[in-house]
Structure 1
Amino acid sequence: MDKGVRESKTFVSTFRLAIKPRSGHLCVKEQNVNRVDTSDRKELGKSKLGIPSATDAKPASVPVAEAPQFKEPLQDCTVCEGSDATFQGVITGRHPVRVSWLHNGEKVHSSKTSFKNGDAKLTLTKCSSGDAGTYTCVAENTAGKQSSSAALHITASKETSRSRSEATHKAAPHENKQLCSATKEETGLREGKDKVSTGITDSHLQTKGSTSRGPPVEFLDPPELVEVRVGEEARIHCEFSSSSDPVASCWIYNRDKVVSGGKRVSVTGSKTQSTVVISKACPDDKGSYTIVVRNQRGSAHHTVSLSVIDRPDPPASHPVVSQLSAQSLVLSWTGPSYDGGTAVLGYIVELRQEGLNQSGTWTEVASRCKSTSHRVSSGLEPQGQYRFRVRAYNSAGVSEPSKESNCVKMATTKEQKEDPKSYVTVTIDTKNKVKDHYNKHEKLGVGKFGQVFRLSHKETGQVCAGKFYRARTSKERSAALKEIEIMNSLHHPKLVQCLAAYAARSETVMVMEYIAGGELFERIVDENFEHTELTSARYMQQILEGMQYVHKQNIVHLDLKPENIVCVDTAGTKIKIIDFGLASKLDGKPLMVMHGTPEFVAPEVISYEPVGLETDMWSIGVICFILLSGESPFQGNSDAETFALVTAAKYEFDPESFEDISDQAKDFISSLLKKDRRCRLSCTEALFHPWMASFTPLTRRSTKSLSKQKMRRFLAKRKWKKTGKAVLALQRMANLSNRPDSPGSSSEEPGWSQEAEEAIQSLDKQLQREPRFQQALKDTTLPRGATAQLTCLISGYPNVDVKWLQNEKEVSESSRVTMEQNEDGFCSLVLADLSPSDSGVYKCRASNKLGEAMCSAKLTVKM
């Protein structure tokens, strides 16, 4: 895997919102809630709106950036068959810039691409006739998109040229007699009085069975994403050029249904464009719309994603209170079940005071909460009674409020620190059920194993999290018992603790600590939270301390990622590592696994080789890379590309993203992201790395705050990607060569439905025509010994068969008589060294299964 794929990975990820090349934006101060960072619109196809109140959102002003320009465009290239070819262009514009390559309108899956210091390059090795065509370099950033195209021509090798030369010599033995040159006739020139002007351009002068230059159909700057709000008109428009007429096209929705006219939908088109218009778009209209365009030479397709944006649904649960004191508390809730078609940007927390002489009105206590938890530390009075509710907001507006919390009564004294908890070794309770001891509340999450609910102890009121496993089969029960056994070995302050466990015939429940602080990365992007290289080092130190204990127990986590690093509370900086559902204890036997998360999984997992404690160290290196830069080092456009990048273990420290990061930090990351797991630092070695010791209280003041913008985009993209699945699916990887989105595949789309296949096949029927002469033969007179070329242009599809007749007698090819026909309909009859016997009426008869056509002309040979 070379630099080209590395560029693609860094710049384009089907999963990262923090796509590097699209981060070239103008930052807007977070304090101004009516301004917006337009990079998020480019990344998600959506624009952020400031949220001035809990009921509506005002439009935002849009900063302007410099769009890419080709300072040096691509140049046409001609090479011999079997040789290498290189296309190169120089691009300017506000960086970072994303670069991609197309060949005849289709994406190029090649490892021979690169983009460095504005220099974009594509190298093709051992070119064959299939490599010929048009190559396009597309440069894009948040301000716009620009492209440059050039043609690749493949000439025959010496051996092929020699055989063609010999064939030409046999066909034209008289050296002083030449075939008619259509190229010069096209410009109005004649090479001599012995030639016949036909009016046919040189694009038609190709040998029988040859193909025309360029792709059959080429899309002209087609859109990738169309975004509308609910109730607005959606217009999906694609323009294209066709190498031949006629042209037929159709639209397929989600590769399943044919888009046809209806009450709200209309489809219009011509031989150069097609448009789908949807009036009053609704959420059900969102999805992929693929246009398929076909002509007689072939077909092409392009997919446009339609996003229908609406306000998000209300948060799915009412707020839950924890860490209650006299004047503060922590609220936690669950995000909305539907985000409105675009990422949720944050939450608004509202409060209402209960009791006598209260107005009962809701007041806003937090308007820009980025995570699903928040500490309320102002506006609360000892012994006061309050209810809380939460709204979610996205770029389209603010949701309806969530359900109200239970009435909360504040404590009478100031908050006191809890005594350190003693660790519990859990014995599975098979006599009682979890409901006997705990009240079950709202759902907190869903995973492959089952579901997580908030619990509260019936006697003490302690808030916990209950992990409810499906345990219908022995395999499922075994997986649940395995995690409980592992948790009994992990008693450390940096690790989530198991408090109790219950086992029944159909269900196993593990009661865990309820950690209210939320994900670490979510905390970091809060505008009031400090984010420096120093604080990042301290977080990494805590992760290493926790994993050092895990590894001392000879246990490997196997699913370390940002979602599994959480903060103990909403105010402090202490973290815990959670979710040991995929963890395994190493017993000396080789362990090979088929699970993980693509961005964070180590090369040995993808290669299905034995894993070890070092496998976790790779994931820790990826986490540190993202923590410092806001970018994922191995994120590709698809799982297949991500796997390839991880396997190659190639990454780079982008100068812009790591501008304020020390060399020691980069060395720390490099010491973990080693392809050979034996070369990676252990937890103990990592804790003694110079980077960990380089920060002291004396250096704290000189530590510069790090940008949070890329981290915000990274998190937004992660939210899109989360599906509740923790499984990487190596079984899927086994079939990557057959997947449409794998490198080297001929298509990036999955299979069509039967309805779609039938619609696409019907396009071929729409093209079918009986033969017709677009340009007929012309009478001509030539002297003896000259060369005549009788030409005509025929349309018809399919399989037009051409025969030539002289005075009603079929003409046969010989050393003096040659016939040409190409798929564009150009037909010619060439007669060399004319004699009087060649005079007569010549007819061209064209036929296919639909009919027949004929034209004729008179050739007179003068003595």
Structure 2
Amino acid sequence: MPEPVKKAVSAFAKKPKTQEAEEGSSVVFTAETEKPDAKVKWQCNSKDIASGNRYVIAADGNKHSLSIQAITKEDATVYAVIAGGSKVKFELKVVSKPEALAEAPAEAPAESAAEPQPAPAPEQTPAPPPAETPTVDQTAAPPPDAPPAEGELPCVSGNITFVAKVNAESLLKKPTIKWFKGKWMDLASKSGKHLQLKETYDRNSKVYTFEMQVIAAKANFAGGYRCEVSSRDKFDSCNFELTVHGELDRNIFVFHSVICSFVQDSGELDFSALLKKRTVQVSSSEPDVDVWDILSAAPASEYQKIAFQYGITDLRGMLKRLKKMKKEEKKSEAFLKKLDPAYQVTKGHKIKLAIEVANPDVDVKWLKNGQEIHPTGRYIFESVGNMRYLTINHCSLSDDAAYSCVVGEEKCTTELFVKEPPIQIVKNLEDQMVMKGERVELECEVSEEGANVKWEKDGVELTRDESFKYRFKKDGCKHVLIINEATKEDCGHYKVKTNGGESVAELLVQEKELEVYQSIADLTVKAKDQAVFKCEVSDENVRGTWYKNGVEVKSDTRINITHIGRIHKLTIDEVKPEDEGDYTFVPDGHAFNLSAKLNFLEVKIDYVPRQDPPKIHLDCMGRTAESTIVVVAGNKLRLDVPITGDPAPTVIWTKGEKASSVKPSDGEETEGPTSSWTMKDGEGDGRVHVETTKGHCVFTIEGAERQDEGVYSVVVRNPAGEDTADINVKVVDVPDPPLAVRVVSVGEESCIVQWDPPLYDGGQPIIGYVLERKKKKSYRWMRLNFDPYPETTYEAKRMIEGVAYEMRVYAVNGIGMSRHSLSSHPFVPVAPTSEPIGLCVDDISDTCISLKWRRPERIGSAELEGYGVEYCKEGTDEWLPATEGLTDRTALTIRGLTTGDKLQFRVRAHNMAGPSAPATLAQPVTIREIMQRPKIWLPRNLRQTLIRKVGDTVNLVIPFQGKPRPQVTWSKEGEPLKPPFASVRNSEVDTILFIRKTDRQHSGKYDLQVQIENVEDTASVMLQVVDLPGPPEALKIMDVWGFNVALEWKPPKDNGNCEISGYTIQKADKKTMEWFTVYEQYRRTNCVVSDLIMGNEYVFRVYAINLVGLSQDPCNTKDSLILIPSPASIAYKPPSHKDHDFSEAPKFTHPLVNRSVIAGYNATLSCSVRGIPKPKVTWYKNKMDISNEAKYRMLSKQGVLTLEIRKPCLFDGGVYTCKAVNASGEDIVECKLEVRQEAEA
């Protein structure tokens, strides 16, 4: 059971109680505070209540009340009253108006079985107690003439039942319950006529019900009670107080419940309620009989009769308890050391059970759950002397059992618990991006087979009830979450959890990839004909846009655009020469296109003379943008040039220079030739072909590439002449990959990535960019955006803090999407820490300052790299670093500052994400040392005289404080110390007085003075150097009689600088001169030496003794003594004396002292008394005898009297008196005790 801790004292002297009222009536809750000026606040459902409408709040001194008028069903809730740091909750229960109120007969017992409700858990304790504790609602007492309410006893002989219910769903074995009265009285031993204990179990609800029934209650039943429930390592308890009020022959039981949970809450089990003095007591007419004493003395044949007489119904429980009471514990003869009650081992490990037997030759048997164990590879038996060992290797869950060791007829048993190790995730989940309708498998691998895992989506657990959508698959250590047909709703973060770890992955679902069933084809049409471009795609819901030479085509009277199902058509009626060009279809939301060329065939009928010079008929000659022919890379370039001439001319195609110009770094535009070639009619070179037909010359390039861009010249010649034309061809392509992808900043679950545009945009403007990311240890790339993002800076979100990622970017233009860029450097999303807390000035001087602070409350997943400290002058915004780099400590001293400057300081914590928010001082600090008054901290041992022997070393270290550095001065008897006499060493915080070898002259008073300017502090040290004393003086024989001699001497002149503590007297026979000690540590300067031998000659000597020891030389008698026998001296004279009267009146040698204590902590009052015979002691509080009060504990040991007050409250303050009386007289001593409230933190 955990150690109870001290609990804060309540600010309430009287707390409001839970009440029950009828609908439409009024109710008043009252509370009393300890202090009359305390501020009280009322709440309903954690919301403050203001006076008005139906609520009336009143206060009179320390009495406070809350009235609720016209109660409705909605008022049945939890209320609270707050005063200072104390908060008390109570409830209002609203019942409907009864139709008729039936009176219960006086002789019928009124049972109150209140359903236990768990107490409201204190803040920051989310775990519920393992067992519910019994509670009974508190109700206000009705007027005397009202019928008895529920839970009250109509007469003294009434019955009441208290019920505790325990939920056993999470318990491995039956819980044990104990009922106590007072502090330690177990009520199980008091079961009988007036008290019965019962227990039942409901198998359906798995709830144990424990009942304590009080039968024919009497007034002495009042007091504090406690109910304790335990099961293995779980424990819970409930304190309550039962008070009996005697009014009009009725007893009203009020059941106070105080719940303390020892599972998660470290609260205190408060027994102070049991110690309150009760002024109302109802005396019982019949004696209190202990039925167990009767049963113990009675024969077994009388048990049933006694049980019937005293109302015991549980005969089996009675016999078990009686057998346990009569059973005597026998010491084991076979075992010297038994097994512990329980052992615990981790699964897969081994454990060794050890016992020690008395006989080393005895054989033992090991049992598991009652079955004998035989030696195997897993079970190993060992015998070493008297020790016997059982070793279990590779423990599994089947080894979780009860083990016994049997020696002869004796047996010792233990229980072994096998603890499963936490399940670790070996292979984490991976992010996935799939198409809509595809199958998704999220797979992880754990450390052990058969482990239980839990799947979550966006924080919501996925259960088997959703098996129509999710499937859970186990294959050894592999666990798979399967989604048969992914939809957009399945996007999110999926998490798999075990008891030893977790893994998260993100699932993105994209619309299906579009498939092209039929592409558009090149067309060659004549004037006035119809041109139809037709394509078919896989998704009939996808729309698209038609482009001509990169310009969107709009519908008009001649041009018709249709979309029927999966087929997209572009129809051009009455084709004209200007309709010739490249036509492109771009599906919406997809990064590809379909292209074809429309060729216009013009038929001309001209009269051609026999000799006609050649002529080229083109509309797109020249190098202007309007006359440029645009072709998409990868498509076929076909230039059909109409020519005329008679005879048929010869055609020559030449490519000499590039159409586009490149601007060098100096800004001048230059046109550089790339390649030059000449091709005649009928020639071909791989991709390039030239064909000539009647009236036409066709130039074809298969699969146009970027280097095919440029100016093409066509020359036609015949004998009649020649003609030349230039055609500008522009090849457009997807852009190059973006450059320099970099992560510029990271956050807790996000990052900001930047990149540079590609060097080549493909001849078309960049529409935007597409980004992808992946975990560093994964191979799956996840797309972050589906629509092109136009900027070069992007904030990526929904990442997992502490996981390494990589980023890459695609560029998109009107043609398509580029290849991906190089991946960025791996980065980890982390957030800056919170600001450091508690920044303050620890010390300051004229040129330096010391700062200290505490670590930030939130560190995050990244390690803390250090702290940056900066300062700036007041009135400026320039922050200067106090140190080079970062500091790892939470304190820093900044030196080299200018005296008198006003500086502001700030501290920021740095991690991988950068600096945190700064922690600054509340106001600027002036760099100037603050004067601190000098103060000497004299050690406790130097506050009394310091005694040293001659020759010892003295080394006094005395600390002091003061700023600036104080001036330290030592003096002895008003004279300053000089180095030969003593050495002094001073520092900033202490001073040392050192004497290497002491002498008698070093004794005296040493004064220490610490001074700063006009302020000083002084302290004194008394040093006493002691030495051996000198010999006593003038030892004389004063008288001789019989066998006795009287000696007398004077104290020594030199006492060694300390008090003479005694003398040692010795005698010697002059014949042998062997000295014998007569007295040691003798205090007087005269003595009588007896038992001398008649006729012998004696000499005597005396040594002086002080703190150091015996004097070096003794004092001897000058003359010897010879005893001469005489009849008169030998005659015995009996002494005549009167018996001494040893009686003494009581007298307090140490009085009581006034004390001030804190409420809630035990307090003691002590004094000492002497007296013969031993006096009788009585304690009083405010002149009232408290000898029989249970709250007070009186102790007496060898005359020392102690009164212990257990957990005093504010009402325990007052005047306490102790009175001692015997036959010779009496004595009284008193003191005042003040109990004060504990200060709130």
When Rg is computed on C-alpha atoms for both structures, the one with the higher figure is 2
- Normalising to structure 2: TM-score of the pair? 0.17
Counting strand residues as a fraction of each chain, which structure ranks higher? 2
Which structure exhibits the higher relative contact order, with contacts defined as CA atoms closer than 8 Å and separated by 6 or more residues?
A: 1
